[in-house]
A and B are shown apart, each in its own frame.
Chain A
Amino acid sequence: MSRAATVTRAELEAVRWGPVAAAALTAAGLVALDLTVWPRGPGSELTWLVAGLLGGSAALALDDPAATVTRAVPAGVRMRTAIRLGVAALVVVAWCGYAARVVAAVRADGGTVSWPALALVGLALVCAATGASAVLGAGAEPGAAVAGAAVLVALGLMVVPLPWSVAPYDVGSAGTRETVLWLGVAVLGVGGLVWGARDPQRR
């Protein structure tokens, strides 16, 4: 087995799959509800909770309870973070698929939803959650706190009136200022990831 494969396998074995799966399965349950029996669905408030939970799931994948041991592994933090981000990539793919189903269902009902705008919301939340997790340090196991915060933020954006009449979940079209804001959140998240994945000695 090549070195890269060995490192990847070892790193994936160090992921706390239980909590990651719990968040992802809860999100899957919400998706199933939203696409079937939920009266306001598809594309109801559950959609944004799914985004928050998927963000939390991706953040939990970065948790490294054995950080003191894994630091001695001959693979850099950046590489190990990149391997763990494979989970985040899967989460984003799942979100994009769900977004496509929501868009199709809403359009069939005569509504308008932009798939890129909807996909961007989930992507931004995943980027922000993983970025926050990376900045806080995987060894400190911030995944649980970040997952809770991601759900709270996803819900908060539905409940709290924002200044300048910003409607964060207005995904009717892609060319709005809300899209630009979500893009900004995604960029900030990626920035956090890049910073958090640096060698601790060089920070």
Chain B
Amino acid sequence: MTTVAVSPAPVAQVEERRVLWCLARYEALRLLRHPLFVVAALLFVLIAVTTPFSEYANADYDTAAHGTETNLDWPVLPAFFLGLGGLLAMNRITSSSGRAGDVVRSVPVPGPRRTLALCIACLVPAALALLGAAYVFVFWMVDPPVQSENWGEFSNAELVALMAQGVLAALGGSLLGVLVARWWRWPTAAAVTCVLLILWSVSSLAPDKNLLLTLNHVAAPFSLVASNGENYSWHMGGSLVWKAPYLLGLCGLAVIGACARDAEGQLRRRLVRAAWLVGGFTVACLLAGTVLGPDGFYSWDHR
């Protein structure tokens, strides 16, 4: 019999971790009570639950053979409700804790740790998005949506990556809310950030007929897989599978950036090193997604 000696973490570390999780739980509860997030989450749940039973997914639903409708745009729902809703709510929560500066500073917890707790709270919208994505995905894998444009053109890995995009958008949007509130303490910051995100996402829908446009499509924090006009459907280029780790990298950068706001000394140096590492990983995934993915093409074109 082999005996393994396990040395417990130092008491101070255990205590710090407990405080962190306690703070994270508190921030998560604040998020769950935020009116904007409550409304966004309820609408998301309502639409997610009814999606597989909607007229849209019904085989009898009368639609043109080459219509503009596609169930593949489902991830836009978690991205919109939980991503943008989470961004606005987390931005307000972070800003309000910033305004209570004197009180908060009296709590014996360093700033970066408080920010980390806020970032952990962002897992709430991500978890909700994951539940929704899993629910819809299982339904559609068992009973594939008949009217879906392009559904059959994707491998299972690509479909999973596609659904993961919605989850990562929910996580990333909320993290961006924390990041923006930490660095840009301006009342309009969240709304302007939302608008810029939307602009970037919409700009990524231009048919990517060259590498730069494909790069923009893969780089956009949220983008659809097809660009549909009245007379055509353009299957966007770039790799969906590489896009998921790229988005995860962006989430990591948002956490590091937010925590770096109040970091000093050794912690700041460690965060800078981590930023280089995660940044390198993110850029590598972005380039891989752009170069290794398929080129864009017209699924159909009646012009």
Contacts and interface: CB of A to CB of B under 8 A. Distances in A.
A151 B195 contact: yes
Given A26-B195, A156-B80, A159-B77, A147 B43 contact: no
A151 B191 contact: yes
Contacts of A49: 195, 198
Interface in A89-148: 141, 143-145, 147-148
A160 B187 CA distance: 27
B80 A56 contact: no
B191 A45 contact: no
B84 A23 contact: no
Interface in B60-96: 76-77, 80, 84-85, 88, 91-92, 95
Contacts of B85: 152
A144 B181 CA distance: 12
A18 interface: yes
A173 to B, nearest CB: 20
A19 B76 contact: no
A22 B188 contact: yes
Contact of B195 (A53, A60, A63, A141): A53
Contacts of A46: 199
A177 interface: no
Contact of B91 (A63, A148, A150, A156): A148
A174 interface: no
Nearest to A33: B199
A30 interface: yes
Contacts, number: 79
Contacts of A152: 36, 40, 84-85, 88, 194
Given A30-B195, A151-B195, A144 B202 contact: no
Contact of A150 (B77, B84, B92, B191): B191
Contact of A149 (B43, B76, B88): B88
A60 B80 CA distance: 23
A16 B186 CA distance: 11
B206 A39 contact: yes
Contacts of A145: 36, 88, 92
A83 interface: no
A155 interface: yes
Interface string B91-110: 11001000000000000000
Interface of A: 16, 18-19, 22-23, 26, 30, 33, 39, 45-46, 49, 52-53, 56, 60, 63, 141, 143-145, 147-152, 155-156, 159-161
Sorted nearest first, the 9 A-B pairs with minimum C-beta distance are A144-B187, A148-B88, A19-B187, A22-B188, A147-B191, A19-B188, A148-B191, A151-B191, A148-B190
Interface of B: 36, 40, 43, 47, 76-77, 80, 84-85, 88, 91-92, 95, 186-188, 190-192, 194-195, 198-199, 202, 206
